[in-house]
Structure 1
Amino acid sequence: MFTYETADQKEVRRFRIAQFNGRMATVAAGEATVTGFVRSVLEQESSMPPRWTITIIPNVPKDELKPLRPSSRARPFAEDYF
């Protein structure tokens, strides 16, 4: 899990919407970029200005799909024209 802390209300709103809709969210913090599902958005009530802690479950990138067999170079159904 990846924990991210922010004070930006627009960013928090984006994460809450992603969590509610079950969509993935992307966070760019420094050099790290994490994409995954938002697990929780918690407000730290004792801090001033308000801050939020966001927990994201990273999603492993999918491997590139490889064709099962090579495709033919001839046009499909070319014999129908003769």
Structure 2
Amino acid sequence: MFTYQTTDRKEARRFRIAQFNGRSATARCADGAITGRVRSIVESGSGDRPAWIITIIPDEPKATAPATRPAPRVYLATEDYL
């Protein structure tokens, strides 16, 4: 689990909407970006400005599928096709 804190109302709203709709959300920070499902959003009103603590469960990376494209055709008598 990844815990993220923000003071931006728009960002908190975006995470709430993602949680409500069951979509993945991306949290960007100095270390990089974490993409996953939003588990909880808790408002922390202990300071001057309201802050939200967001808990994200990261998605597992998708396995890359092998190439399904056919191999290119090789013509032995190329002068016939020119």
User: Does TM, scored on the shorter chain, surpass 0.5?
Assistant: yes
- For structure 1, the 5+ residue unaligned runs are 75-82
Q: What is the CA-CA distance between 1:31 and the residue it aligns to?
A: 2.1
Moved over 2 A (4+): 70-74
Q: Report the count of equivalent residues.
A: 73
Matched, 1:13 2:2: no
- TM-score under structure 1 length normalisation: 0.79
Q: What is the CA-CA distance between 1:40 and the residue it aligns to?
A: 0.3
Matched, 1:34 2:48: no
1:78 aligns with none
Larger Rg: 2
- For structure 2, the 5+ residue unaligned runs are 74-82
- TM-score under structure 2 length normalisation: 0.79
